[in-house]
A and B are shown apart, each in its own frame.
Chain A
């Protein structure tokens, strides 16, 4: 599948850049959309998104509602957060969770994993 648009929700500039770099290394053709708030991300979702990496705590609150929408749409995504995995609500517990700080290979590995899983759909 082609992850033409990749949504990165991250309010920390350097972390967002880091993620962007990793994504671009892995998916050179992808267009990265960087958002710093849930509202901004929701607006970005007006256009189809193939893949998403979500921080949990962002400027305007928690990203769980957004995550729920992505999950329901079947959009592959993962959390990249400083929160603890057990803070994720149970209905999103199946979503891959990457703890900050992250190792670049782990992001790549996870991207690979979620895209593969999403493919049969």
Chain B
């Protein structure tokens, strides 16, 4: 199969690889770069386990091809963790037990941070709506909403 050279930035590191055109971004990250923090749940864009950031926007890693990311800036849970950007959100998830098996968590955190970046304190309904593309089988979502709400309030300086 004809392969294509791509160069992109992943979590701040410049990466040049040769990939099959059919390879999804999440498979590329997991299989070629061994970044296993992004998870594969459904491979058809429904479950959100592979949610990550490309050029600052959250995308489904299973609905984007690696070759589409030539020249792009990609941020995965590994990068979001190492940079400290979501340290407060991660701590809230841990304290509130907003994860059980943890498989949906990297994608859930990426989506939640995307909401929180907008600023303000979203309502519980708004949080639920924003996370409605990320499937969690374990928690029933209540604890996740609690954690996101708590971080929004803390970031807003404790003001409602």
Task: Please indicate whether A and B come from the same complex rather than being unrelated chains.
Answer: no
Residues on B lying within 8 angstroms of A by beta carbon are none
Residues on A lying within 8 angstroms of B by beta carbon are none
